[in-house]
Amino acid sequence: MPYQKEKRDGAVIVRIKKERFDSSIAPEIKAELLVIADHGVKNILVDLNEVDYADSSGLGALLFGLRQIRDKGGTLRIFGANSRVQNLIRIAKLEQILLNYNDEEEAMNNLK
C-alpha cells in the first residue's frame, strides 16, 4: 500500500509512503481521499515527507481530494513537501489552493 492512514483530533492524516507521487499511485490515493470524504471527515492532512518527486497525476489526486472534501464543507492541507514538490505546485499556480505546511503540528494548528 503506498500510504498509511491515521486519525488525529478529528482529522485523517494520509501519509504517502512512496518516493514518487505519480500515476503509479495517484489513482489509489484519489480513491482513498474519496472514501475519507464520503465518511463524514471534515479535515484531511496529506503527509508528503517521504515524497521526493510528484507529477501532474499526484497534484491531480490532491486537487480531486480537495474538491471532494470542500463539497462536504471540509478542508485538505498538505505538509512536508520538499522544494521540488513545492516548485511544481508553484509552477502550476496552486500555492494558494494546496496550502503546504512545514510539519504536522503546523498543519493541525491551521485546521482550526
Dist CA 70 CA 89 (whole Å):
19
- How confident is the model over 56-88, as pLDDT tens digits? 999 999 999 999 999 999 999 999 999 999 999
Tell me the pTM: 0.95
Its CATH architecture, for the domain 3-109, is 2-Layer Sandwich (3.30)
Q: Where are the domains of the chain?
A: 3-109
- How confident is the model over 48-59, as pLDDT tens digits? 999 999 999 999
Q: Is 88:53 a contact under the CB 8 Å cutoff?
A: no
Dist CA 70 CA 77 (whole Å):
11
Dist CA 109 CA 67 (whole Å):
21
User: Residue 6: left (phi > 0), alpha (psi -120 to 50), or beta?
Assistant: beta
